[in-house]
């Protein structure tokens, strides 16, 4: 592979007051640590901030960035590892720097809540993007032009890349190394980090998803409670409507307002949620777990589990078995 031109090796990362050090540390570990053993031109990292002076980090220590936003915007790869507050406005100086970097040909990258800064700069309009699953709904509400995908570890749109929260940032950073230097170098970096070069599945498998509580006093709540009392029973919209004492059309309408989804999709989600502790805590075969939570066959279970969790039941069990 040909050596990267000098500017192609420059990486900048934004530090800010109140930041978590983990995401910044991931960037420094991947791009700032010399790796002469790889025998390829490595990156030149600049840690930048909006203004000079010490910056407080979570954990009770301070860091000081050597560079400002001019250096930040001038790098070939520009990384925002988070924002101070996902509900606050992003500073005009930062959004201007991000637009300037993008207009100048940089690839712009976010980790976790950093997607809010890219969205505020307009760089995610009309694009697919992700963020930490806790913030995905808020990102979609604040920036409706963004196609938020809460189920993936990262999204590569070529010149704009976004990752889910925390450790998913490492997945994206190793992916950038793979893009620049090929799989052999990326695999070597992953081994040094003691992480897999590519993780199976998406962040849906890490979302805390307890079965929702229902209200016995409303018709939709009664139908939901009826389903949860025995997930193995066959469920149809007609049966749910009968339990609720409503017409099928009226039930579907009220259910959608209540949950944001269709009745049968909700039932599938509850069955998958019920399967997770069985996968985590038992050695029961997949076939038995599928039947125990109401799926007609293991094939159907694997299909819906894969669509929802972005991984297979067996891979989930391997990752989370207690």
Is residue 216 pLDDT above 60, yes or no?
A: no
Q: Which tens digit of pLDDT belongs to each residue from 13-48?
A: 999 999 999 999 999 999 999 999 898 999 999 999
Q: Which of the given ranges, 171-175, 211-215, 316-320, has the highest pLDDT on average?
A: 171-175
Chain-wide mean pLDDT for the chain? 88
pLDDT value at 210 more than 80? no
C-alpha pair distances (Å), 193 with each of 132, 186, 190, 316: 22, 11, 5, 22
Look up residue 209 and give its two tokens: 């998803």
Instruction: Give the separation between CA 285 and CA 271, rounded to whole angstroms.
Output: 16
Candidates 32, 62, 35, 60; CA nearest to 47 is: 32
Q: How confident is the model at residue 4 (pLDDT cuts 50, 70, 90)?
A: very low
- What is the predicted pLDDT for the residue at 238? 95
- The pLDDT tens digits for 239-281 are 999 999 999 999 999 888 877 789 999 899 889 888 888 888 8
Q: CA–CA separation, 126 vs 176, rounded Å? A: 22
Tell me the C-alpha to C-alpha distance, in Å, between residue 305 and each of 71, 157, 159, 167, 213.
Answer: 45, 26, 32, 23, 22
Which tens digits make up the pLDDT trace of 187-205?
888 888 877 666 655 565 5
Q: Give percent helix, percent strand, percent coil of the chain, each to the nearest 5.
A: 50, 10, 40
Rounded Cα–Cα distance for residues 310 and 313 (Å): 10
Within 10 angstroms of residue 102's Cβ, the number of other Cβ atoms is 19
- H/E element, 10: strand 10-14
Sequence-ordered list of residues with C-beta below 8 angstroms from that of 163, at least 6 positions apart, any chain: 109, 110, 111, 112, 130, 153, 154, 155, 169, 171, 172
Torsion, Cα 84 88 94 95, to 10 degrees, reads 140
């Amino acid at each position: 592979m040909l050596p990267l031109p000098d500017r192609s090796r420059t990486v900048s990362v934004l530090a800010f007051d109140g930041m978590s050090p983990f995401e910044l540390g991931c960037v420094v570990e991947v791009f700032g640590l010399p790796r002469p053993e790889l025998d390829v031109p490595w990156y030149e990292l600049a840690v930048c901030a909006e203004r000079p002076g010490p910056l407080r980090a979570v954990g009770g220590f301070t860091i000081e960035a050597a560079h400002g936003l001019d250096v930040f915007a001038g790098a070939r790869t520009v990384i925002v590892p988070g924002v101070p507050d996902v509900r606050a406005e992003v500073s005009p100086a930062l959004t201007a720097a991000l637009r300037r970097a993008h207009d100048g040909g940089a690839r712009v990258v976010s980790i976790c809540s950093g997607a809010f800064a890219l969205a505020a700069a307009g760089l995610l309009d009309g694009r697919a993007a992700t963020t930490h699953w806790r913030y995905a709904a808020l990102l979609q509400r604040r920036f409706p032009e963004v196609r938020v995908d809460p189920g993936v570890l990262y999204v590569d749109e070529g010149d704009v890349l976004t990752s889910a929260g925390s450790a998913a940032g490492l997945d994206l950073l190793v992916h950038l190394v793979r893009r620049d230097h090929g799989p052999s170098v990326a695999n070597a970096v992953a081994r040094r980090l003691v992480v897999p070069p590519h993780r199976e599945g998406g962040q849906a498998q890490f979302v805390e998803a307890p079965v929702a509580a229902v209200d016995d006093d409303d018709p939709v709540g009664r139908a939901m409670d009826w389903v949860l009392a025995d997930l193995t029973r066959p469920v149809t919209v007609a049966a749910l409507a009968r339990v609720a004492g409503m017409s099928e059309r009226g039930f579907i309408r009220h259910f959608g307002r209540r949950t944001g989804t269709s009745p049968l999709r909700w039932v599938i989600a509850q069955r998958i949620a019920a399967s997770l502790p069985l996968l985590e805590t038992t050695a029961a075969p997949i076939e038995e777990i599928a039947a125990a939570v109401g799926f007609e066959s293991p094939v159907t279970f694997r299909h819906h589990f894969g669509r929802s969790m972005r991984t297979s039941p067996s891979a989930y069990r391997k990752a989370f078995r207690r």
